[in-house]
Amino acid sequence: MSEHQHKFRFHLTFPPSSVTEPILSDVVRELGVGFNVRRADIREGTGTMDLSLSGTHEQIDAAVKRMIAAGVEVDPIERNVIE
């Protein structure tokens, strides 16, 4: 298992059934990944968020799989963002 830390950016789309659920909070707490919310737009019935996740490849992969299993659409952001 690689212990090297990585950072990947994602665009999340939350369906109405999970907009008010603490999905990101649960994933971060349970898997130990770091996160930085870059942009969020949460409205009644829908929500989108751009964020970066940091951790090992295994942690990030598990976090993405957990969010998808919870009904969140997870798309990688390919462009580089200047910090």
CATH number of the CATH domain containing 63: 3.30.70.260
1 assigned to some structural domain: no
81 assigned to some structural domain: no
Instruction: Write down the pLDDT at residue 4.
Output: 84
Three-class SS state of 12: strand
How long, in residues, is the chain? 83
Instruction: Write down the pLDDT at residue 82.
Output: 44
Number of domains the chain contains: 1
25-37: pLDDT as tens digits: 999 999 999 999 9
Low-confidence ranges of the chain (pLDDT < 50): 1-2, 80-83
Range of the domain at 47: 6-13+21-76
Instruction: Write down the pLDDT at residue 3.
Output: 73
Instruction: Write down the pLDDT at residue 45.
Output: 83
The 8-class DSSP code of residue 70 comes to T
pTM recorded for the entire structure = 0.85
